Amino acid sequence: MSQKVAMVTGGAQGIGEAISRRLSKDGFAVAIADLNEAKAAEVAAAIEKDGGKAVAVKLDVSNRDNFFAAVRDVADQLGGFDVLVNNAGLGPTTPIDTITPELFDKVYHINVAGDIWGIQAALEQFRKNGTAGKIINATSQAGVVGNPNLSLYSSTKFAVRGLTQVAARDLAEENITVNAYAPGIVKTPMMFDIAHQVGQNAGKDDEWGMQTFAKDIALKRLSEPEDVAAAVAFLAGPDSNYITGQTIEVDGGMQFH
Ligand SMILES: NC(=O)C1=CN([C@@H]2O[C@H](COP(=O)(O)OP(=O)(O)OC[C@H]3O[C@@H](n4cnc5c(N)ncnc54)[C@H](O)[C@@H]3O)[C@@H](O)[C@H]2O)C=CC1
Ligand SMILES: CC(=O)C(C)=O
């Protein structure tokens, strides 16, 4: 059987890097797609050094043409296309009165439109090859319950959960599943930046900013990117074949339903 191919957007650092490394360990050929081409290439090289198969592609997820071209390129280079992880996202700290039209456009284009373009581009390949593909979108615990100071970000992540449900229904008859993962407070550049901003806005330090989020974690530790990658590996693999339209919360017990 030929090696399955997964593409991870925002794969150059943080959660996306951990997902790329984990999917490689699970046997996927991996495409690391990121705005930061140099860092994506470093991750691809590290995976290859560990014996995996990986390529780096430059991608701006907010550009539809770029997304279609990148997916075609990956399918050509790696000989197929089975899984898309729509992981790239922006997480600015935005008290409600600070949101500008420019910031709204930027964040919605990356966090929401980017996922739509990704689904469309992956669909083109799945249809071409008759693949029972899997699409996996990054939402957040902040897309399950509104978080203070993150109105713009939180609202995009609510939208991603909605998009995941609708796409799952629309694509089910083509045997394509669409699911999402909702991380909690993960040790990545994005989260350290949010903690810094929230702390600074309150006249406090970064640790105080982090604790405003971390105090709600039942398991009493911040998340490693690998915690999230493990859940994404499940959604990318065959054990999740009968699951679609769902969001898996990987937050150490922050949100309960
Ligand atoms: N860190 C956390 O605590 C949480 C993160 N998430 C979500 O997980 C995902 C990954 O987050 P982190 O690893 O923390 O973020 P990060 O900011 O550390 O890394 C994001 C990566 O995405 C890339 N990227 C940004 N804009 C891009 C674009 N337009 N096109 C292609 N690549 C782009 C960046 O270059 C970077 O490599 C995001 O969707 C985020 O919203 C969700 C919940 C919690
Ligand atoms: C960055 C993020 O998704 C949080 C705080 O949940």
Q: What is the CATH number of the domain that holds 95?
A: 3.40.50.720
Classified as helix, coil or strand, 29 is strand
Buried b / exposed e over 33-44, threshold 16 CB at 10 Å, is bbbbeebbbbbb
Binding site annotation covers 185? yes
Taking only the tens place, the pLDDT of each residue in 86-110 is: 999 999 999 999 999 999 999 999 9
Q: Does the pLDDT of residue 1 top 80, yes or no?
A: no
Q: Residue 257 — pLDDT band, cuts 50, 70, 90?
A: confident
**Distance (Å, whole) CA 95 – CA 77:** 43
For the chain, the distance separating the N- and C-terminal CA atoms, rounded to the nearest angstrom, is 40
Which pair of structure tokens corresponds to residue 10?
A: 């925002």
| ipTM reported for the complex surpasses 0.95 | yes
8 Å CB contact between 231 and 180: no
**Distance (Å, whole) CA 29 – CA 232:** 15
Does residue 142 lie within any of the structural domains? yes
Does residue 255 lie within any of the structural domains? no
Q: Residue 111 — pLDDT band, cuts 50, 70, 90?
A: very high
Binding site annotation covers 143? no
Look at residues 129, 138, 137 and name the one whose alpha carbon lies nearest to residue 174: 129
Does residue 240 lie within any of the structural domains? yes
Does residue 9 lie within any of the structural domains? yes
Binding site annotation covers 60? yes
Does residue 14 lie within any of the structural domains? yes
Does residue 92 lie within any of the structural domains? yes
Vertex 60: Cα angle to 226 and 69 (nearest 5): 105
Ligand 1 atom closest to the Cα of residue 61 is 30
Vertex 188: Cα angle to 182 and 189 (nearest 5): 125
Does residue 146 lie within any of the structural domains? yes
pTM: 0.98
Does residue 207 lie within any of the structural domains? no
Q: Which ligand is nearest to the CA of 142?
A: 2
DSSP state of 112: I
Residue of the CA atom closest to atom 5 of ligand 2: 185
Taking only the tens place, the pLDDT of each residue in 6-20 is: 999 999 999 999 999
Look at residues 18, 88, 83, 12 and name the one whose alpha carbon lies nearest to residue 235: 83
Q: Which ligand is nearest to the CA of 160?
A: 1
Distance 173 CA to ligand 1 centre (A): 31
* Number of domains forming the structure of the chain: 1
Distance 1 CA to ligand 1 centre (A): 33
| pLDDT above 70 coverage of the chain, percent | 100
Residue 153 among the catalytic residues: yes
Residues near ligand 2 with C-beta < 6 Å? Answer: 91, 140-142, 147, 185, 190-191, 194, 213
Domain span at residue 160 reads 5-184+224-250
